[in-house]
């Protein structure tokens, strides 16, 4: 569905642009025949026909969108999530990366519920947290219910100008118990990357080796709300920025958790920040139910540790399976 | 048989309206309004006592009138309104201490309602999306009115321990807006050009001035114990609020914002202090479950409605203005 919309939108935009600037070199059906009196009749319509009506409608909704952006009449939820901005701007910006650059193949979407809450737990890698963004696109574009993934991020995200602002507007919030439980209780799909900086900041030699899974806080949140845990494996992110060395000195100076040295960064400057176009696979695994535990299980460290290990083990196994299936890194 | 209520801070806008509202309450027999200055037009049905709550004379007033309920609204949020930061701190902290010691000495007191602020939670990147009453601040306030309020609340907690028979309700208000309120926030939204921190778009929550009165009245009746957050439903982003206000926005990098702001509006009440800046960067939102369940209060205005009523100068006000 998301796919179809994109294809329909872009030619209409092109048509609009053409309409403003004059006749188009690519001859489509003339949008307003009255103006072009001598236009030759088009023998057969191209496969994608955009009627005037459709153009008007996209124009109108685009205009509405722009209007609300100027008068502040758009709506956000209590977390600052702006679904309209996310759907119409943010996801459109990131989608080419998902489709054309990383050519993500998402599987197991049937394991993600369409309406109720669930906790997506995935491995974290690749220096910049592209993996979380790709998981968000996968769940929005490929899941039949077009679910928004509400991620739990580190406080570094929220203290960084622009990054924090956009993260909140895209529906994400701070990784802390109250927020995780509040989102899950509201029936949201919540994403968590328990490896945190240990995961994205690990050297290339450690690729696809899961790091420590925090203190299992995410498991406790799932247990308290009875939300199923969906162990998710992401393959491909490790190769986007192969981190050869972590310069701890520079990291300390810049106040960052790590500072990556890759074959291209910082040597090529901004060009070195372009991620390598590895081929990606995301698999949403079978849900682990948490609603059959007794009351107070969330406060029982043994239950929490065991469940954390189970989730971790399942992700690690899926990672190995996906790696075996992968033909080559850039496939 | 009716209740005898003492209201502090009656010479100020909210205090005056609150005293007048309580005077009309059928359960309330007498309302005694206390302030250093007498309220200018006078408040109908309220006995005004000109006294400084920083002075022990207040205990005598309370004992003689056999006050059973104390509504403490005599704290001041902006140094300008108090005539300097040190006076402000003295009124807020020493005044509250004196009032509490008077309450402790007066056996007839059964209930205390304190108007506090949600600024006691501070603001910062480590904050949860919504603060509940039992959460510790992640970025405790270090200066100004928020710090005063933290101290006021700690003295109130101390009083509550020493007089467990008294029901103590502390209302932590979101930013108060309304057609007639003048606060640092309304001054900010009224700037001709509004400087905003570049790269930040905080979530803000407002409570309408009428709802503040409603919540205090509910606290007088319900005697809910402990701190309770009071805010209109929903949040507004700073950008949303300014766009709705139709104000020109000037994004400035955060460290320069205070100087730019002071240059743009040199004599305004706007709070560009450290705490004020943190709020403009990170905002804050409140969990209001306790307000609904323990206090039994549902605000008439959402955050967005309170803001639009402020913009329209009261033209959308649903409630009758109880003062004059």
CB nearest to B199's CB, from A76, A79, A162: A162
Contact B144, A191 (CB under 8 A): no
Question: In the prediction, which pLDDT does A22 show?
Answer: 37
Q: What are phi and psi of A245, to 5 degrees?
A: -145, 145
Tell me what pLDDT residue A102 has: 95
A98 versus B51: the higher-pLDDT residue is: A98
CA pseudo-torsion sign B3, B8, B12, B13: negative
pLDDT at B55: 78
Mean pLDDT rounded to a whole number for chain A = 85
Chain A nearest-CA distance from B253, in A, is 9
B73 within 8 A of B12, measured Cβ to Cβ = yes
Residue A270 clears pLDDT 90, i.e. is over it: no
Please say whether the beta carbons of A283 and A236 come within 8 A. Answer: no
pLDDT value, residue A41? 46
Q: Quote the DSSP letter at residue B131.
A: B
Report the residue from B235, B244, B254 with minimal CB separation from A71: B244
Distances (CA, A) of B55 to A155, B83, B95, B96, B99: 46, 19, 8, 11, 9
Residue whose C-alpha is closest to residue B125's, from B233, B254, B284: B284
**For residue A144, pLDDT beyond 60:** yes
Model confidence at A208, pLDDT cuts 50, 70, 90, reads very high
- The answer for A 60-119 residues in CB contact with B (under 8 A) is 69-74, 76-80
DSSP SS3 for A33:
coil
Over chain B (324 residues), what is each successive 10-residue block's mean pLDDT? 90 94 95 87 86 83 94 89 86 93 94 97 96 96 94 97 96 95 91 95 97 97 94 97 94 94 89 92 97 96 96 57 31
Domains of chain A: 26-73 (no CATH), 83-240+275-325 (3.40.1130.10)
Give per-residue pLDDT as tens, A280-303: 999 999 999 999 999 899 999 999
For residue A260, what are the β-bridge partners?
A246
CA nearest to A223, candidates A177, A254, A258, A189: A177
* A168 touching chain B per CB within 8 A: yes
Quote the minimal CA–CA distance from A301 to chain B in Å.
22
A positions 23-52 inside 8 Å of B (CB): none
Q: CA separation (Å) from A11 to A4, A18, B23, B233, B311?
A: 12, 10, 68, 41, 42
Pairing relation of β-strands B69-72 and B236-237? unpaired
pLDDT tens, residue by residue, A21-57: 333 334 444 444 444 444 444 444 444 555 555 556 6
For residue A131, give the H/E element and its range: helix A130-141
d(Cα B148, Cα B170) in Å, to the nearest integer? 14
What distance in Å separates the CA atoms of residue A295 and residue B272, rounded to the nearest whole number? 48
**Tokens in use for B111?**
């209930």
SS3 A3: helix
Of the candidates A74, A76, A174, which has its C-beta nearest B126's C-beta? Answer: A174
CB A252 within 8 A of CB A75: no
Q: Give the alpha-carbon dihedral of A220, A223, A226, A228, to 10 degrees.
A: 80
Quick check: helix, strand or coil at residue B31?
strand
Distance CA B294, CA B287 (A): 13
CA distance A66 to A60: 10
B249 in contact with A, Cβ within 8 Å: no
Measured at the alpha carbon of residue B305, what is the angle toward residues B303 and B309, in degrees to the nearest 5?
A: 120
The tens digit of pLDDT for each residue in A151-161 reads: 999 999 999 99
Q: Do A78 and B129 touch (CB under 8 A)?
A: yes
Nearest-CB residue to A165 (from B126, B199, B240): B199
| Residue B6 CB-half CA count within 13 A | 32
Confidence of residue A309 (pLDDT cuts 50, 70, 90): very high
DSSP characters over A205-241? GGTT-----TTSHHHHHHHHHTPPEEEEEEESGGGTS
The string of DSSP codes covering B254-316 is GGGHHHHHHHHSTTS----SHHHHHHHHHB--B--HHHHHTS----SS-HHHHHHHHHTTTTT
- Round to whole Å and give the CA distance between B166 and B158: 12
Looking at residue A57, what is its pLDDT? Answer: 64
What pLDDT score does B79 carry?
Answer: 83
- What average pLDDT does the segment A186-198 reach? 94
- What ipTM was assigned to the predicted interfaces of this complex? 0.89
Q: Where are the alpha helices (DSSP H) in chain B?
A: 13-23, 57-65, 79-82, 85-89, 95-105, 144-162, 184-189, 209-222, 238-245, 257-264, 274-282, 289-293, 303-311
Predicted local distance difference test score (pLDDT) of residue A43: 45
Contacts of B113 (CB under 8 A, 6+ apart): B69, B70, B71, B72, B169, B171, B216, B219, B220
User: How distant is the Cα of B311 from the closest Cα of chain A, in angstroms?
Assistant: 13
Contact B125 A159 (CB under 8 A): yes
Half-sphere CA count of A9, side-chain side, radius 13 A: 14
Q: Which among A159, A330, A322, A125 has a CA at the least distance from the CA of A241?
A: A125
Q: Is B285 on the interface with A (CB under 8 A)?
A: yes
A243 and A127 Cβ atoms separated by less than 8 Å: yes
Given this model, what pLDDT does residue B2 score? 85
Whether the CB of A309 is below 8 Å from some CB of chain B: the reply is: no
Q: Cα torsion at A119, A124, A128, A129 (round to 10°)?
A: -10
* Residue B314, pLDDT score: 54
Contacts of residue A254, defined as CB under 8 A and 6 or more positions apart, other chains included, come to none
């Amino acid at each position: 569905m998301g796919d179809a919309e994109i294809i329909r939108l872009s030619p209409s935009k092109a048509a609009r642009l053409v309409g403003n600037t004059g006749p188009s070199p690519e001859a489509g059906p003339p949008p307003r025949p009255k103006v072009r009196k001598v236009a030759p009749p088009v023998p057969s319509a191209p496969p994608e026909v955009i009627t005037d009506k459709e153009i008007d409608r996209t124009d109108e909704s685009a205009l509405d969108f722009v209007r609300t952006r100027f008068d502040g009449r758009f709506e956000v939820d209590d977390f600052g999530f702006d679904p309209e901005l996310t759907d119409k701007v943010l996801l459109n910006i990131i989608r080419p990366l998902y489709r054309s650059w990383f050519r993500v193949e998402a599987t197991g979407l049937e394991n993600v519920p369409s309406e109720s809450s669930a906790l997506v737990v995935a491995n974290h890698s690749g220096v910049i947290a592209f993996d979380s963004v790709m998981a968000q696109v996968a769940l929005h574009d490929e899941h039949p219910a077009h679910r928004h993934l509400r991620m739990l991020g580190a406080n570094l995200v929220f203290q960084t100008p622009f990054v924090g602002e956009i993260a909140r507007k895209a529906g994400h919030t701070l990784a802390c118990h109250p927020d995780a439980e509040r989102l899950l209780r509201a029936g949201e799909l919540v994403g968590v990357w328990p490896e945190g900086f240990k995961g994205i900041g690990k050297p290339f030699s450690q690729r696809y080796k899961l790091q420590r899974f925090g203190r299992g806080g995410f498991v406790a949140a799932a247990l308290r709300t009875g939300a199923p845990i969906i162990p998710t494996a992401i393959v491909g992110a490790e190769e986007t920025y192969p981190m050869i060395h972590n310069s701890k000195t520079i990291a300390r100076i810049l106040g960052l958790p790590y500072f990556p040295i890759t074959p291209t960064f910082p040597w090529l400057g901004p060009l070195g920040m372009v991620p390598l176009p590895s081929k990606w696979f995301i698999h949403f695994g079978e849900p682990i139910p948490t609603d059959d535990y007794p009351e107070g299980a969330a406060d029982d460290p043994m239950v929490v540790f065991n469940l954390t290990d189970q989730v971790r083990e399942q992700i690690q196994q899926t990672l190995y399976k996906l790696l075996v299936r992968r033909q080559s890194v850039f496939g | 048989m009716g209740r005898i209520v003492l209201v502090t801070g009656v010479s100020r806008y909210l205090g005056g309206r609150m005293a007048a509202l309580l005077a009309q309450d059928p359960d309330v027999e007498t309302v005694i309004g206390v302030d250093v200055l007498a309220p200018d037009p006078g408040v109908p049905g309220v006995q005004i006592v000109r006294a400084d709550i920083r002075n022990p004379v207040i205990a005598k007033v309370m004992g003689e009138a056999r006050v059973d309920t104390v509504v403490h609204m005599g704290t001041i949020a902006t140094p300008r309104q108090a005539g300097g930061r040190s006076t402000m701190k003295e009124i807020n902290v020493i005044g509250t201490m004196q009032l509490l010691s008077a309450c402790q000495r007066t056996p007839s007191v059964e209930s205390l309602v304190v108007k506090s602020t949600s600024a006691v939670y501070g603001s910062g990147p480590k904050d949860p999306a919504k603060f509940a009453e039992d959460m510790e601040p992640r970025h405790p306030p270090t200066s100004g009115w928020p710090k005063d309020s933290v101290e006021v609340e700690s003295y109130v907690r101390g009083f509550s321990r020493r007089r467990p028979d008294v029901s103590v309700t502390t209302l932590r208000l979101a930013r108060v807006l309304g057609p007639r309120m003048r606060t640092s926030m309304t001054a900010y939204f009224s700037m001709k050009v509004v400087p905003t921190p570049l790269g930040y778009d905080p979530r803000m929550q407002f409570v309408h001035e009428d709802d503040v009165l409603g919540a205090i009245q509910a606290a007088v009746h319900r005697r809910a114990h402990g701190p309770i957050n009071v805010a209109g439903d929903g949040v507004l982003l700073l950008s949303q609020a300014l766009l709705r206000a139709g104000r020109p926005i000037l994004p400035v990098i955060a460290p320069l914002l205070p100087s730019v702001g002071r240059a743009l509006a040199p004599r305004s009440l706007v709070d560009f202090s450290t705490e004020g800046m943190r709020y403009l960067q990170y905002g804050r939102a409140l969990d209001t479950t306790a307000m609904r369940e323990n206090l039994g209060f549902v605000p008439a205005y959402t955050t967005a409605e309170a803001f639009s009523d402020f913009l329209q100068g009261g033209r959308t006000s649903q409630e009758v203005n109880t003062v004059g």
